[in-house]
Chains A and B, each alone.
Chain A
Amino acid sequence: METIFINIEEFLTSWMVGMGLAQPWADLIITILQWTIIVLIITVNTIVLVWMERKVSGFIQERIGPNRLGPFGAFQTIADTLKLLTKEDIVPARADKLIFKTAPMFFIIVSVMLYAVLPLGNNMAVVDLNVGLFYFISLASLSTICLLMAGWGSNNKWSLLGAMRSVAQMISYEIPLVFSLLGVVMIAGSLNLTDIVTAQNRVWFIILQPVAFIIYFIAATAELNRGPFDMPEAEQELTAGAYTEYTGMRWALFFLAEYTNLVAVSVLAATLFLGGGHGPWLPSWLWIIIKTYLIMLVFMWTKWTFPRIRMDHLLSFSWKVLIPVSLANILVTGAGIELFRWMGW
């Protein structure tokens, strides 16, 4: 079971080479195949996630949640997706049409690209990049630009306010996010995600870096624009912020991208702090799925419990609390590593 996907891949490659295809071409086809499968998984998974979010919020709020369509309302999201697909695509007359139309596309592209380096099991990253973490972080910050495009292109004050908020928020929270990951990188001694997983052979980094995990979790919530940090959306204040003018499938693309980001960030958390694919009995890819879903459950739990924080509090929390604490964490980690080295471990 452990190597089932890798075996399939190797079988396909050797089959294609056997058919007379040159090795580089076969690799290219495999990569394209991997991407297609990832995109498919993301889309289907989003449908599951939306249903799960509704059920979880229903459970938290003493409601039933969707319960009409299919067993436990499981097909509700599919019906909603069909509805969104058939809705009219409205582009405001005064919008900057090019920017307005491309913003959701860029958003989803950026989100999907995150998955290139994520090890979804042992040796199961699409690209085993040696600066994988760096790649992930730099791509994750790009989503700000997409939100800014959406807000600017909509030519709507609410949208622009939402976009400005998102920029301010992302810039502030990018820093503690990166700092929190530095501790992990220092211990593992690598930016390669596969190496970081291997470094957690004996002990998970959540035990060595608990503070970093909490900072990562908070900063990631802000990066994902999820409650209580959903400032760019803020439906009770900014109607729907940057998404105000979007309808139908364009809006659904934003939605899809947000859930894609959620999964990516959760996979990263599982990889960096929860030992990636390490775990007894079950194959590594199954462990990743279990850990990812657990982290996503915590994300949902936070979202449905907390009110939205105020913008200035949000920024001062990042600059006055998270960044100093994450810097202190780096210092302590560095000192600890030196100490252990000195003690000869």
Chain B
Amino acid sequence: MIKTEPYTINIGPQHPSAHGGLRAETIMDGEDVLDVIVHLGYVHRSVEKIAESRTYAQFVPYTSRLDYLASHLPTLGYVQAVEKLLGITVPERAEYIRVIVAELSRIASHLIFAGSLAIDLGATTGMIYCYRDRERILDMFEMSSGQRLIASYMRIGGVSHDLPDSFYPAVESFLKDLPAMVSEYHGLLSGNEILQARCQGVGVLSADEAIAYGVTGPNLRACGVAYDIRREDPYGIYDRFEFDIPVGGSGDSWDRYIVRIKEIEQSGRIIAQALRDMPTGDYQAKVPRIIKPQAGREVYHRIESSKGELGYHIVSNGTDKPHRVHVRAPSFVNLMALPLVSRGGKLQDIITNIATLDPVLGESDR
């Protein structure tokens, strides 16, 4: 009689598919996964503690280092939370600029998602094609803020600079090429039967489970729940734009992939509308030099980041530094579903699941 016993294998923190510093302690029986225990904290930089010793404005650059793949989105969430705290109204033009760069960030983040899914499944070429198109977005960020990756472009009350003239032709030509890019991804990735076989029916998350576990963003929409904070609880000027909320059906990895590709197209629509409607005017509101919100005020502001609900809970104590800043990171909460979707699958499915849950460890570890 042959006796077998389960064994433990550590995926990460040093692993090609660990997305930065994720450690998934996997208990396996042969190639079958019995359980996954996620260990976090390898990229913990104590951002929340740092916030308590920085002024409100000084903390802005730290936020873009949370989700460094879509750096405008966490910054947007933070400055809007502070604006709520202070009651500042942002000039129209700044709102439109914010929407444009935020949606570009979302596209960049989803391109990274598709590219890293491709490389995690072994399709190196798919990665290069996605990264190639993301480069164009990073070039636009460089035009607007001087930084490619972690732009820190948003300011409390507006943005740091107006968009330069070279930005508009770049974004317009990008939008013009977007349908061709998406159809190229469909040809290279979505149409590939191996990729379909690797994703379909893998890592299934039901809608009830997703809500119970707090999974948000594209991962929730892949389960068929049309919940998008831009629509349900609109912040900024998102209630002015027309866009669809792509939803999946079965909540498997395939849906998570397709939903994101469709969101790229919807973000393109939003950017086109924002460019069309953008008024002239100030890009920065009058903000006091020293920001001292009223003592005891607190605010929880959430935005739809590329990963899900990104929330900032800020408590003020009347000084120029926040009493407490808590970041509700979508990657952190979404990762809770990793054991849930990986149990009972194969070793290779864990890789797919990590890639399609799309965590950014800088954000989940903070």
Contacts and interface: CB of A to CB of B under 8 A. Distances in A.
Contacts of A306: 122-123, 192, 194
A62 B129 CA distance: 8
Interface in B1-34: 7, 9, 15-17, 31
Contacts of B129: 61-62
Given A158-B9, A311-B31, A304 B125 contact: yes
A239 B9 contact: no
B16 A61 contact: no
B340 interface: no
A60 interface: yes
Nearest to A63: B128
B198 interface: yes
Interface stretch (A230-238, A258-266, A329-337): A230-238
B124 A57 contact: yes
B125 A230 contact: no
A307 B128 contact: no
Contacts of A61: 124-125, 128-129
B120 interface: yes
A228 interface: yes
A165 to B, nearest CB: 8
Contact of A313 (B16, B123, B197, B347): B197
Nearest to A158: B9
Interface in A233-249: 234-237, 239
A236 B194 contact: no
Chain A interface bracket (under 10, 10 to 19, 20 to 34, 35 or more): 20 to 34
B121 interface: yes
Contacts of B132: 62
A161 B31 contact: yes
Contacts of B347: 161, 237, 311
Contacts, number: 78
**Max chain B CB contacts within 10 Å: which of A63, A234, A235, A236?**
A236
A305 interface: yes
A88 interface: no
Contacts of B7: 157
A111 to B, nearest CB: 24
B230 interface: no
A313 B196 CA distance: 12
Contacts of A158: 9
B341 interface: no
Interface in B211-226: none
Contacts of B124: 57, 61, 304
What 9 A-B pairs have minimum CB-CB distances, sorted nearest first?
A: A308-B122, A307-B123, A307-B121, A61-B128, A307-B122, A236-B17, A307-B194, A236-B16, A307-B195
Given A157-B7, A228-B122, A307-B118, 8 more contacts: A63-B128, A161-B31, A235-B16, A307-B126, A307-B195, A308-B198, A311-B347, A311-B348
8 contacts: A63-B128, A157-B9, A227-B122, A230-B122, A234-B348, A306-B192, A310-B197, A312-B31
Interface of A: 57, 60-63, 157-158, 161, 165, 227-228, 230, 234-237, 239, 304-313
